[in-house]
Each structure stands twice: as C-alpha cells, then as structure tokens.
Amino acid sequence: MSSKQRKPWINWLLFVATIVVVFILGLLAASVTERKHEAATAYKPVVKLSEWEPRNEVWGENYPREHQSYRQMSDTTFSSKYNGNAMIDMLEVDPRLVVLWAGYGFSKDYNQGRGHVYAVTDLTNSLRSGGPTNEKDGPMPATCWTCKSPDVPRMMAKDGIAEFYTGKWARLGAEIYNPIGCGDCHDPETMNLRITRPALVEAFERNGKKIQDASHQEMRSLVCAQCHVEYYFDKKRDGKSAYLTFPWDKGMSVDSMEAYYDEIDFTDWTHKLSKAPMLKAQHPGYEVYLTGIHAQRNVSCADCHMPYRTEGGQKFSDHKVQSPLNNVANSCQVCHREETAELISNVYDRQTRLIEIRDKLEELLVRSHVEAKLAWDKGATEEQMKSILTHIRHAQWRWDYVAASHGGSFHSPVEIGRVTGTGIEKAQEARIELARLLAELGHNEAVEYPDITTKAKAQAFIGMDVEKLKSDKQKFLKNLVPKWNEEAKKRQESWSVIKVETKE
C-alpha cells in the first residue's frame, strides 16, 4: 500500500521538475536565437564598399562596433596613464635627442604619437614636414605619407607605386586626407586582413616568401608590420623616386640590417656635429617583437593590442589600438593568471632596468658627437675620422633601434639588453679613438659636456633656427592646408555611397 501511495507523488515531482527544466531550456534557446539574430544583423552590410574606399566612417556603417572602438582612440586621455597615445614632447622630456638627431628632421620636433586617428593631422602640424608653399616645396618626400592613410593605397592604385613615391610631400597634400583606418588592413569584400603597402610584399618576395602563404594568425601581426618596421628610402632605384624599402635581405636582426646598410653604403643623413654617416632607425617594432618570447609562443600584435571582446553576443576585435597595460584583463590575463598590478609591475621592472643602460648610451653618443666635432675643429682629416665615424654610426643605429622600437623593452627585453650593450661598447670605442686623435691634435683632456638641459638650449647648441621653422609652419597651416582640406572634402562629397538592398 505504501509503495502505491508514494508513486504518484514521485511522478508529480518528476513532472514539475521536467516543466521547470524545459522552461529554462526555452529561455536559453530564446536568448541564443536573439544573440544569433543580433550577430547576423550586426554583420549585414549596409553600404557597398569600393576596393580602395578610404573613408573610415563609410566602413563604419557596415561594422559599427569596430568603428566605434576605433573612434575611441580620438580621446587621447584614455590611455595617458600608461603613456599610450598622449601627445608628449619627447625633445622637451629628453633634450639629448636634439643633439643625436642634429641635421635630421627629428631634431626639429618629435612628439609621442597620438595614435592612428591623428596620423594625418599630427604629421601636417609637425615642424618636421616644414612649411611648403606649393606642391614642389618642403623638406620631405611624398613617400613620408606612406603609412599615414588609406588614401595611400587608393593613390598607388591610381598612379602607380613608384609614381606615388616621387616628388615632394606637399604634392599629395590634398589627396591624403583620411587617417590610418579600415582600408589599410581589410579587404572590403571579405573583410579578410590584407596587405595594402607594397614594401612588405616586396621584401617577402625578395626573400623567396609569399605573403599569401601567411596564416590568419600571422596576418594579425603582418598588417601591423606594414608600417611598424625598419625601412629606408631607396633613391638609387630609378633615380627619381624615394622608393620605400625594407632592409631585410640579410635578415631582420639589428646586426643583419646594419650589415645591409653598410654594404649598400646607405646613409639617412650626415650628422651636423660629428659628420658621421648616420642611420635613422624608424620603428622596428615588428623586428624586435620577432626576437621575443610572445612571438615565439605565436602571440600576435592584435592579441594584446586589439584583443577580442564580446558585445551583444558579438565577438569582435577591439579596434581601440592601445597599450595592453590599459587593458590587462583582455590581453595579458587571457594567458597569465597573475593580478593586474603584478603584471604591470613586471613590465615596468623590465623597462626600468633597460632604460638605465639606454640612457647611459644616449649620454655617450652625445659625448661622441661633441668630441668628434672638436676633432674636426682641431683639423682632423677624413682618413683619421673614418673608423671613429663608423663606430658612431653603428652605436647610434643600435641605440635608435632600441629607442624607436617602442615597447621593445617589453617585447624582447633580452635582445634589447644585448643591443644596448653592443651600442655602449661601440660608442665608447669611438671615444677611445677620439681620445687618441684629440691628444694628437693637441687636446689631451676630457671634453666638456654641453649644457643641453632643455630642448631650447639643445636646439640652440646645434644651431637650429626654430623661430623660422615655426613661422614657416604657421604660414603653411594658414595658407595651404585649408585649401587641401577643402579640395579633399569636395572630392569625397562627389563620391556616391551605394546602399545595399536588404531582403528582409
């Protein structure tokens, strides 16, 4: 009897439990469907993108989440805590840079970059681009636009690559208008990552590799490597263009690139004080990254600087490109199970140690330039100076490789230590030979270190007329730039945006 009475009670319990479970499953299914619907609608194209569409906001109509995160870069306070994209006058912070780059554009003006969305504005405003009065005027070649805008591949497709690299920077002032954005890295049809800058493709081909063989994960670094690399302007190629070229044919290490430059006898500029045949390291971030542990573990640039996020059921890559230190949870902590504060302190620990020796190298380079100038002043001959100037060239190349690689002390701290160490050795080797030469020329004592405690003092020390540069720049900004902008706006307004027909 008792078993017969229990049975209906158990059945009722099972019945109610089943109802509850099924109801919850129903809720879950509804949520999944909703998210799938969201996901599907989110990636429904709204407008048709032409192959070289340079307007980021037009791409943004199809990809609002990516575009919104991209736009967040315009607020430069967001990452200033970790020196992300804030505008910092590096020459004021460290006036020795003025002496190191004497005779080269960077001694005029060098700010920490404010990020992709300011690429065109900041170059236009910089004293480095000078105050051109017409399209054939100014200190910089057209090639200097190459990494600044998705208008670049548009113009290359229109005019040809070598033609793009020809003439003055001002020649393309009205054409290069949209800052670095969507079209630089994406195929408008498939949204696959694509390489739009020829130098990377050409470097691969010269070394027997095909960029098409790169995996998606490799492409998540290679699109960055279009620009965040070491390069030079080859002016011997056709006698006309300043052809942007990567010096990778002997390898991508600091030593291999140095050997490459030495072999082709390439010089970025002649140093104003020491007359050394200098190399300017551009920003060999990709090359340094390749020597580090994250690259060895197959972690891409985007994994840390553009980590995946989820919003409304939609996984997407965060296009607010920034220091991972502003975003440890989505970058570092995907792999590393340590607290945010500890991870950040680990990064700073590496940087602090390495900045100490980089700083020392910088001082030694200033000394070597100043001592070399004294040797010239005392009547040294080219022959006497040759080996000294080669040491200075190599030492500063190594310093600049370290300093300009941005984040190198984190990306590959051991390599940065090695390169800085060899730089110190070479700078001091120059100074040993200079000590002997100066003794021979009648100056056998320590050479006074200049007073370069501020940017103004340092610029005065190298004999730079900054007021003239500023006044030229102002005229340029007042007279030429508004015309460029007007012309660009007009052109873009004339382009129709084709809406995609929806079939809902």
DSSP string, 366-404: HHHHHHHHHHHHTT--HHHHHHHHHHHHHHHHHHHHHHH
Distance CA 473, CA 129 (A): 8
Residue 14 in contact with a copy of itself, rule: CB under 8 A:
no
Asked if 366 interacts with a copy of itself (CB under 8 A), we say no
Nearer to a copy of itself, 265 or 445 (CB): 445
Are 138 and 166 a contacting pair, CB within 8 Å? no
Taking the complex as a whole, how short is the minimal distance between the CB of residue 299 and a copy of itself, in angstroms? 13
| Identity of the residue, 382 or 445, whose beta carbon is nearer to a copy of itself in the bound complex | 445
**# residues near a copy of itself by CB under 8 A:** 37
DSSP codes of every residue in 95-158: THHHHHTTTSGGGT--B----GGGHHHHHHHSGGG---SSTT-SSSBGGGGTTS-THHHHHHHH
Pick the stretch among 159-167, 326-334, 358-366, 486-494 that binds a copy of itself (CB under 8 A): 358-366
The nearest distance, CB 324 to a copy of itself, in angstroms, is 17
Does residue 303 belong to the site contacting a copy of itself (CB under 8 A)? no
- Binding mask 323-352 vs a copy of itself (x if CB under 8 A, - otherwise)? ---------------x---x---x--xx--
Q: Which two tokens stand for residue 62?
A: 């199809």
| CA neighbor of 216 nearest in space, from 290, 317, 312, 116 | 317
Per-residue x/- mask for a copy of itself, residues 446 to 485, rule CB under 8 A?
A: x---------------------------------------
Dist. CA 490–CA 32, nearest whole Å: 46
User: Under the criterion CB under 8 A, does residue 439 sit at the interface with a copy of itself?
Assistant: yes
The distance of closest approach from Cβ of residue 357 to a copy of itself in the complex, given in angstroms and rounded to an integer, is 4
* CA 286 vs CA 125, 201, 224, 263, 412: distances in Å: 27, 15, 8, 23, 11
Does 353 interact with a copy of itself (rule: CB under 8 A)?
yes
Site for a copy of itself in 277-296 (CB under 8 A): 293, 296
- Choose the stretch contacting a copy of itself; rule: CB under 8 A; options: 33-41, 154-162, 213-221, 414-422: 414-422
364-373 in b/e burial notation, b at 16+ Cβ within 10 A? bbbbbbbbbb
Which of 290, 354, 388, 464 contacts a copy of itself by CB under 8 A?
354
Q: How many CA atoms lie within 13 Å of 329's alpha carbon, on the beta-carbon side?
A: 2
* Residue 86 burial by Cβ neighbours in a 10 Å radius (0-12, 13-18, 19+): middle
CB of 355 to a copy of itself, least distance (A): 10
- The CA distance from 109 to 125, in Å, is 10
The neighbouring-strand residues paired with 234 are 243
Token pair listed for 52: 């070289």
In DSSP terms, 269 is beta-bridged to: 278
**Binding of residue 37 to a copy of itself (CB under 8 A):** no
Q: Report strand pairing: 308-311 vs 277-278.
A: unpaired
Distance of CA 463 to the CA centre of its chain: 30
Among 418, 470, 485, 492, binds a copy of itself (CB under 8 A): 418
- Which of 357, 404, 460, 481 forms a contact with a copy of itself (CB under 8 A)? 357
Task: Report the residue from 50, 74, 133, 422 that binds a copy of itself according to the rule CB under 8 A.
Answer: 422
Q: Which of 151, 303, 318, 415 binds a copy of itself (CB under 8 A)?
A: 415
Q: Choose the binding region for a copy of itself from 195-203, 225-233, 443-451, 488-496 (rule: CB under 8 A).
A: 443-451
- For residue 157, the minimal CB distance to a copy of itself (Å) is 42
Among 13, 17, 20, 414, binds a copy of itself (CB under 8 A): 414
Hey, is 266 helix, strand or coil? coil
CB of 418 to a copy of itself, least distance (A): 4
Provide the token pair at 144.
Answer: 């200097």
Closest contact distance (angstroms) between CB of 344 and a copy of itself is: 13
**Whole-angstrom distance, CA of residue 365 vs CA of residue 450:** 12
312 binds a copy of itself (CB under 8 A): no
Q: Segment near a copy of itself (CB under 8 A), from 83-91, 244-252, 269-277, 360-368?
A: 360-368
| Chain contacts with a copy of itself (rule: CB under 8 A) | 293, 296-297, 338, 342, 346, 349-350, 353-354, 356-357, 360-361, 364, 413-418, 420-422, 424-425, 428-429, 431-432, 435-436, 439-440, 444-446
